């Protein structure tokens, strides 16, 4: 019999990749999905199974991290070998708008999962992975950050995740739970939420290249992040739960880049050279040249005349909008994953270029579809979140 996993946050980026990965390994995967007025299963539709089917190895349950009775019932019914606690209000900027909810879902939500396992006497059976984050380092006290670097969170999200981190450690020490924290640095993909900076950039670039959007409006260009690919990072989650002993691990690529650089590289990947000028809110990025061969291959020959005409009249494609600034910012993150490499044998396959190319190809494809809809006379929106 294969193992049984329960994933909270199954409809999210990591939940979707992890579910697919565990199914391929022969697991039965249960996922918790919260009620929404829309289906909201786009990321997992390719693995969805008809509930009427007799034998299923992918099963969804309605639930919410803020509802302990519901979580306890699901854990009871599923009796999982492994729980991957990925559900969270995961947007740092939004956590300043919804601090209480974030504390409840991200902080207390973790406690609810741990308590369910303890109360149901599953402590010797069920292993727990907690989705901890490099946001714990916040105002980083050391460069690069390791498992021993002191935490200094800088947002309601970071503070809620700090509680989740320590309650996981406490349940491990107090009750002997196999509960581990993966302290994951930023990881992205073609299915990354549209309002995180990388996806916002790749989507906007695709629309600009196709003549669907004028400019990308962005916040702090100088922030630095250690960006990896979600497909690599979910493998680390799995490896963490396969260890004999529970422990906490930094998962990171060890390379940090500015938001500004991510933008430059994204446009370059589609054949557009960007130069930045000015400072602060007056900083802009403009296209200074087009590499026809790359643009033709990535975007399409038919879009070259329009982009050339456009940059002659207005080459500015990146503008700063201070409404995207955060009340307190995390300026620089870079992780040292030596422990994960040595103990888990975890080595990421993607570098930043591979990640950007995959996201760029995917978003150009997506925006071409949207462009067809627009050209067919239907309304499509440009989102500026």
Give, as ranges, the residues between 265 and 324 that touch ligand NAP (CB under 6 A).
none
In whole angstroms, the minimum distance from the beta carbon of 16 to ligand NAP comes to: 8
End-to-end CA distance of the chain: 45
The DSSP annotation for 309-331 comes to HHHHH--EEEEE-GGG--SS---
Does the annotation mark 135 as catalytic? yes
Cβ burial of 252 (10 Å; 0-12, 13-18, 19+) is buried
DSSP state of 196: S
In whole angstroms, the minimum distance from the beta carbon of 160 to ligand NAP comes to: 9
**Mask 226-245, x = binds ligand NAP (CB under 6 A)?**
--------------------
**Mask 16-55, x = binds ligand NAP (CB under 6 A)?**
----------------x-x-x---x---------------
Cis preceding-peptide flag for 144 (omega within 30 of 0): yes
Regarding 66 and contact with ligand NAP (CB under 6 A), the answer is yes
**Mask 162-201, x = binds ligand G4F (CB under 6 A)?**
-----------------------xx--------xxx--x-
Considering only the stretches 30-38, 214-222, 248-256, 283-291, report the one whose residues sit in contact with ligand G4F under the rule CB under 6 A. Answer: 214-222
Regarding 167 and contact with ligand NAP (CB under 6 A), the answer is no
The beta-carbon contacts of 118-122 under 8 Å, at least 24 apart in sequence, are 118/171, 118/175, 118/177, 119/72, 120/72, 120/75, 120/76, 120/79, 122/75, 122/79
Considering only the stretches 58-66, 111-119, 198-206, 370-378, report the one whose residues sit in contact with ligand NAP under the rule CB under 6 A. Answer: 58-66
Regarding 207 and contact with ligand G4F (CB under 6 A), the answer is no
Tell me how many residues contact ligand G4F (CB under 6 A): 23
d(CA 362, CA 370): 13
The DSSP annotation for 248-297 comes to -EEE--S--EEHHHHHHHHHHHTTEEEEEES-GGG-EEEEEEE-HHHHHH
Q: Among 60, 128, 131, 359, which residue sits at the site for ligand NAP (rule: CB under 6 A)?
A: 131
Q: 70: closest CA among 109, 41, 18? A: 109
User: Does the CA dihedral 13-104-48-233 come out positive or negative?
Assistant: positive
Residue 30 contacts which entry, ligand NAP, ligand G4F, none (Cβ below 5-8 A, type-dependent): none
Interacting residues with ligand NAP (CB under 6 A): 8-9, 11-15, 32, 34, 36, 40, 64-66, 86-90, 105, 131, 133, 184, 186-187, 193
Active site residues: 133, 135, 157
Residue ranges binding ligand G4F (CB under 6 A) = 90, 92-93, 133-135, 185-186, 195-197, 200, 218-220, 223, 225, 259, 324, 326, 329-330, 333
């Amino acid at each position: 019999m294969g193992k049984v996993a329960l994933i909270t946050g199954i409809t999210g980026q990591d939940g979707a990749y992890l579910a697919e990965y565990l199914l391929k390994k022969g697991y039965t995967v249960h996922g918790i999905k919260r009620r929404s007025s829309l289906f909201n299963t786009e990321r997992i539709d390719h693995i969805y199974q008809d509930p009427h089917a007799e034998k299923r190895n992918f099963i969804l349950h309605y639930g919410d991290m803020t509802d302990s009775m519901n979580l306890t019932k699901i854990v009871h019914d599923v009796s999982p070998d492994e729980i991957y606690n990925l559900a969270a209000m995961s947007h740092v900027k939004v956590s300043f708008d919804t601090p209480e909810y974030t504390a409840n879902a991200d902080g207390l939500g973790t406690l609810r999962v741990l308590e369910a396992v303890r109360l149901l006497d599953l402590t010797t059976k069920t292993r727990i992975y907690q989705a901890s984050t490099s946001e714990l380092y916040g105002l980083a006290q050391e460069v690069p950050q390791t498992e021993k670097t002191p935490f200094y969170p800088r947002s309601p999200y970071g503070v809620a995740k700090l509680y989740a981190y320590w309650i996981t450690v406490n349940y491990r020490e107090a009750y002997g739970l196999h509960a581990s924290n993966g302290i994951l640095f930023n990881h992205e993909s073609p299915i990354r939420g549209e309002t995180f900076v990388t996806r916002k950039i790749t989507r906007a670039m695709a629309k600009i290249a196709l003549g669907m959007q004028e400019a990308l409006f962005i916040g702090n260009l100088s922030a630095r992040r250690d960006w990896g690919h979600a497909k690599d990072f979910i493998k680390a989650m799995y490896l963490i739960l396969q260890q004999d002993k529970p422990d906490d691990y930094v998962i990171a690529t060890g390379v940090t880049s500015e938001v500004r650089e991510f933008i430059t590289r994204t446009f370059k990947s589609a054949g557009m050279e960007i130069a930045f000028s000015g400072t602060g809110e007056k900083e802009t990025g403009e296209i200074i040249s087009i590499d026809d061969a790359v643009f033709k291959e990535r975007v399409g020959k038919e879009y070259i005349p329009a982009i050339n005409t456009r940059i002659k009249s207005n080459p500015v494609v990146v503008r700063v909008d201070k409404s995207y600034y955060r009340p307190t910012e995390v300026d620089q993150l870079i992780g040292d994953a030596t422990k994960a490499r040595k103990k888990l044998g975890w080595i990421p396959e993607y570098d930043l270029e591979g990640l950007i190319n995959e996201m760029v190809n995917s978003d150009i494809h997506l925006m071409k579809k949207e462009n067809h809809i627009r050209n067919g006379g239907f309304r499509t929106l440009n989102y500026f979140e």
